[in-house]
Structure 1
Amino acid sequence: MELRTYQQEARESIQSEWEKGIQRTLLVLPTGCGKTIVFSKVIEDRVRLGERVLVLAHRGELLDQAADKLAQSTGLGCATEKAEQTSIGSWFRVVVGSVQTMMRDKRLQQFAPDYFDSIIIDEAHHCLSDSYQRVLAHFKDANVLGVTATPDRGDMRNLGSYFESLAYEYTLPKAIKEGYLSPIKAMTIPLKLDLSSVRQQSGDFAANDLGTALDPYLEQIAAEMWKVAQDRKIVVFLPLVKTSQKFTEILNRIGFRAAEVNGESQDRAEVLADFDAGKYNVLCNSMLLTEGWDCPSVDCVVVLRPTKVRSLYSQMVGRGTRLFPGKTELLLLDFLWHTERHELCHPAHLIAENEEIAQAMTKQIEEAGVPLDLEAVEKQAAEDVIAQREEALAKLLEEMKRRKRKLVDPLQFEMSIQAEDLYSYVPSFGWEMAPPSEKQLQTLEKLGILPDEIDNAGKATKLLERLDKRRAEGLTTPKQIRFLEQRGFQHVGTWSFETAKRLIDRIAGNGWRVPEGINPREYHVE
């Protein structure tokens, strides 16, 4: 099987991390981008080295999927550790194991601590739980790869308490842009749903309270869905089985062909097959289909299980992002959720770089009244946010002028070079959160950056890497940026070193005054 470019890059990056001695590393791929294929190829590489590999997951469907993809893409067979099935005595080099089975002392003690050389954790955002940690602690010297689709820095930060590095990340916008996933159009349905009385439980909304809070709105939601999505193939996520069943009845009453599945459904496989084949055009479920189920023809997702957890939201939306013949986009329906805190996931959170941009995007989508392309909305929101930041920055620069600093403030530098990844950076891993080293601070100051504002090693590392890269590409230095922007020139960070040098030489030759005929605010480089 020939890997896509990003899949091969991911495979090589993971091996590179392990070769460098980084034992626990992460792979982040959006749902639908072939994470199982990537880790199957990584497993193949490790088996060739003579290693034994364990694939850990928390659901049977994920284990079956891993075993199937491994066989299809590499020809490797595997043994299973699940309930009464055991791999003990098997000659297979790969084992797929249920974490609920593997965590039991009696089962774990059958394996020597060095039995597995590498461990793959599917849906790695679950791996911080006690059950996973018990298994990982037993095989403490094994290399570990966590695979997740989580798009959120908060989730990444939590994972950073166990994992040491991010080997490779492929983003949702990039996957859409490169044609591997369906474009997403988001629409806010103008229904105000009040969640202010819903309790919090384990960091999210309590499912029982959500079901009660949603009940009064189900008829209206169904009517709004009929207006905008009656011809689409829809998956609806709801908080409770009884809410899901009630909503299915309402949908059928108004003209949809709806079915419902839950953990107790005896005919689940049949219903899913019928939905796939087109017998139904709406499938309601109470969080059953968030992982391990694929139906590429789904072109509308309705999230009626509001959540604060980005990984969960991403999993729900991921059921509709795969490509399918004739499918032009995924329609994602959102609502005017009223909560006491603004912590709820919205479509914007799938691709927004930070909360500031997400809020600006959500406002645009809510006010539009029609489906909007998420990427286009993100671009506009990012521009608006940058404009606001530039206004605030101008005030800061005025203060800086008065203080006559000889060094450029990191924020000025980042804004000038338009580096969103730098000014919205949040450290994820332990080493990134540590204070910057004395050597890093001295180097930053030597290169013209004021180091006082840099409070962690991750940010210092990123800044130094960017400065190196800019020097290699022949772009402006921090000192050039400070000199020219103090005189009113705009976005000097995007200029070449030579362009800035020529202009500074002209200013110097004019008695350190801007030459007649040059308006700094309107000045454009050739």
Structure 2
Amino acid sequence: MLRPYQTESVSQVAQAFQSGNKRVILCLPTGAGKTVIFSDIASRSAQKGKRVAIITHRRELLSQAGRLNSCDILMVETLNNQIKRGLDLSQYDLLVVDEAHIGNFRKVLEGFNGFVIGATATPISNPPLKEQYNAIVCPVGIESLINDKWLAVPKTYAMHPVDTSKLESARGEYTERSLDDAFNRPKVYEGVVQEFVKNWADKKAIVFCVNISATINTASEFGMQLGADRVFAVHSKQSPQERAALIDQFTASTDGILVNCGIATTGFDCPDIEVVVVNRATKSVALWLQMVGRASRTTPTKSEFTILDFGENVTRLGFWQEPRDWAQLFHNPKKKGEGVAPVKDCEKCGFVAYASARICANCGAEFPKPKKTNEEVLAELKEMQYKVVSKLDGRKLFDIAQNPADLFELQRIKKYKQAFIERVLYFANYTELQRFWRDKGYSDAYKWQKERQFAEGFSMGNFVVKFRKGEK
């Protein structure tokens, strides 16, 4: 049985197709059940006599999608070769592309005129997905899923054993050589393991490293500290059979530690992971979210999980759970070199400012001068506090309304009535108001009455939101 937001996801994809879009991105956070959703759509289509193919890029993903017996399940590498030999995809009415942000699906879609669903948690790609797809649907965000207990609550800790300002960059990401030089050092990976052992030694964990050598070295250190039988290292130089066997052993374990580089980033499903260790730095929001998302699922005995960030990623890219406007990024993709600007909180008033700011634009307080190195700033693991209030304070109401998660969080904190929120959406985000009413199941009569009240009543002012002491 589908969850309410999953049913809404199916409906939104159908509406996008009915509006004349033949290629639609289905964007949902890791752990929200994209496979369940597109499997439902594919199964319904097949029952209507449509030919459906689900395309995936990894055998680990293939095992999930393979539950469907009414559709063709295809590996993208094999499919690309078959297309070169003359395979005609026009026999299919619908293609479902899992992890659509991965670039090797582009050739498959060239010349295909049927319907396409591209499923992804992070619709960021180069070239942009907008060049291949017509529309995007984003039925629910991470914060809503956490509030409704569909995803676990994260606790984020950070430590800076590496001065990431010295890392070299190329094509919008840190170079492999500089990452290896910085993170694949005994002082770093031994320190990471020691920090893990202090408070999380009995937890089931997944660890992300910069390359194969760092993976092997880090796994060896975990083995010496906690016992080799608990540690499973997986990487691309292993055979698919060996890698699958190790992953199966880890999945079956109660306190295993899976150390990897680029293997368990997308599509890996192991809900009882309690800790995610990010022993690398990245400039990619997509990679950061994909890594952390591996531990975000809930179980009957798990409602929280822990993030250990050793690459200054949370400072650079933001908290995993904070709202992101994927639709805006899809329609207006960032140019190469653009990213999320680093920010900091004012200790006096909580206002969020750019990291380069010297004086708080809200209260005028002077920011303390930064210390010389990251190692001096966070020489030990420190819990990073996610402050929703500081992200909303000082912003204009209509700007907040562009992201529904922000607006409903504002409603919770300020205890605004629903009528007020509906009026805000009428003036600032009419599309979201329609979706909100649809989710509530309100009648057309209710909608017409409300719209008439808003049109004939007072105009909503776009005021600046301010929080009183104690509001959070």
| TM-score for the superposition, normalised by structure 1 | 0.64
CA contact (8 A) 1:119 1:145 kept: yes
**Aligned to 2:90, what secondary structure does the other structure show?**
coil
Farther-moved stretch of structure 1 (306-315 vs 256-265): 256-265
| 2:142 partner amino acid | L
Give the C-alpha shift of residue 260 in structure 1.
1.3
Corresponding residue number in structure 2 for 1:148 = 120
Higher helix share: 1
Cα distance per residue 1:450-476 (max 9 Å; x no partner): xxxxxxxxxx99656579989628459
**Aligned to 1:218, what secondary structure does the other structure show?**
helix
**Aligned to 1:324, what secondary structure does the other structure show?**
coil
**Aligned to 2:110, what secondary structure does the other structure show?**
helix
Corresponding residue number in structure 2 for 1:29 = 28
Query: Which residue of 122, 128, 133 corresponds with 2:98?
Result: 122
Cα distance per residue 1:166-214 (max 9 Å; x no partner): 234321111111111111111113x341233433344322233312211
Corresponding residue number in structure 1 for 2:287 = 312
2:300 is equivalent to residue 321 of structure 1: no
**Aligned to 1:293, what secondary structure does the other structure show?**
coil
Pairing of 1:505-516 with structure 2 (within 5 A) = none
Change (3 A) 1:314 1:463: closer
Change (3 A) 1:108 1:52: farther
Pairing of 1:323-472 with structure 2 (within 5 A) = 323-335=298-310, 337=312, 344-346=316-318, 348-353=319-324, 355=340, 359-360=344-345, 370-371=382-383, 377-383=386-392, 386-387=393-394, 389=395, 414=398, 418-421=400-403, 465=431, 472=451
Query: Which residue of 145, 149, 152 corresponds with 1:175?
Result: 145
Change (3 A) 1:164 1:95: same
Give the C-alpha shift of residue 481 in structure 1.
4.9
Corresponding residue number in structure 2 for 1:403 = none
Change (3 A) 1:352 1:218: same
CA contact (8 A) 1:184 1:321 kept: yes
Corresponding residue number in structure 2 for 1:432 = none
| Distance in 1 of aligned mates of 2:63 and 2:432 | 43
Change (3 A) 1:318 1:491: closer
2:128 is equivalent to residue 158 of structure 1: yes
Greater RCO (Cα-Cα under 8 Å, separation 6 or more): 2
CA contact (8 A) 1:299 1:331 kept: yes
CA contact (8 A) 1:238 1:304 kept: yes
Cα distance per residue 1:343-387 (max 9 Å; x no partner): 9435x1442448579654899xx88965457xxx2423324xx23
Change (3 A) 1:234 1:20: same
Name the % identity.
25
Change (3 A) 1:480 1:52: closer
**Aligned to 1:196, what secondary structure does the other structure show?**
helix
Give the C-alpha shift of residue 227 in structure 1.
1.8
Farther-moved stretch of structure 1 (196-205 vs 310-319): 196-205
CA contact (8 A) 1:208 1:239 kept: no
| Distance in 2 of aligned mates of 1:157 and 1:105 | 24
Change (3 A) 1:137 1:369: closer
| 2:60 partner amino acid | E
| Distance in 1 of aligned mates of 2:232 and 2:15 | 47
Give the C-alpha shift of residue 32 in structure 1.
1.8
**Aligned to 1:9, what secondary structure does the other structure show?**
helix
2:48 is equivalent to residue 49 of structure 1: yes
Corresponding residue number in structure 2 for 1:393 = none
2:201 is equivalent to residue 224 of structure 1: no
| 1:132 partner amino acid | F
CA contact (8 A) 1:14 1:168 kept: no
CA contact (8 A) 1:125 1:311 kept: no
Corresponding residue number in structure 1 for 2:415 = none
Corresponding residue number in structure 2 for 1:274 = 249
| Distance in 1 of aligned mates of 2:404 and 2:4 | 26
Corresponding residue number in structure 1 for 2:109 = 136
Change (3 A) 1:461 1:63: farther
Give the C-alpha shift of residue 304 in structure 1.
1.4
| Distance in 2 of aligned mates of 1:180 and 1:265 | 34
Question: Structure 1: which 5+ runs fail to align?
Answer: 77-93, 390-411, 426-459, 493-520, 522-526
**Aligned to 2:105, what secondary structure does the other structure show?**
helix
Paired residues, number:
388
Corresponding residue number in structure 2 for 1:283 = 258
| 1:304 partner amino acid | N
Corresponding residue number in structure 2 for 1:507 = none
Change (3 A) 1:422 1:61: closer
| Distance in 1 of aligned mates of 2:178 and 2:14 | 46
2:102 is equivalent to residue 103 of structure 1: no
Corresponding residue number in structure 2 for 1:199 = 168
**Aligned to 1:302, what secondary structure does the other structure show?**
strand
**Aligned to 1:274, what secondary structure does the other structure show?**
helix
Question: Structure 2: which 5+ runs fail to align?
Answer: 326-339, 346-351, 356-376, 408-425, 435-446
Corresponding residue number in structure 1 for 2:360 = none
CA contact (8 A) 1:208 1:240 kept: no
Change (3 A) 1:372 1:478: farther
| Distance in 2 of aligned mates of 1:62 and 1:208 | 30
| Distance in 2 of aligned mates of 1:51 and 1:194 | 55
CA contact (8 A) 1:422 1:462 kept: no
| 1:135 partner amino acid | V
Pairing of 1:7-18 with structure 2 (within 5 A) = 7-18=6-17
CA contact (8 A) 2:143 2:405 kept: no
Give the C-alpha shift of residue 271 in structure 1.
2.7
CA contact (8 A) 1:310 1:349 kept: no
Pairing of 1:38-77 with structure 2 (within 5 A) = 38-68=37-67, 70-71=68-69, 76=70
| 1:8 partner amino acid | T
| 2:269 partner amino acid | D
**Larger Rg over CA atoms:** 1
Cα distance per residue 1:473-507 (max 9 Å; x no partner): 8459897456x97xxxx879xxxxxxxxxxxxxxx
| 1:65 partner amino acid | Q
2:268 is equivalent to residue 296 of structure 1: no
| Distance in 1 of aligned mates of 2:93 and 2:157 | 47
| 1:133 partner amino acid | R
| TM-score for the superposition, normalised by structure 2 | 0.71
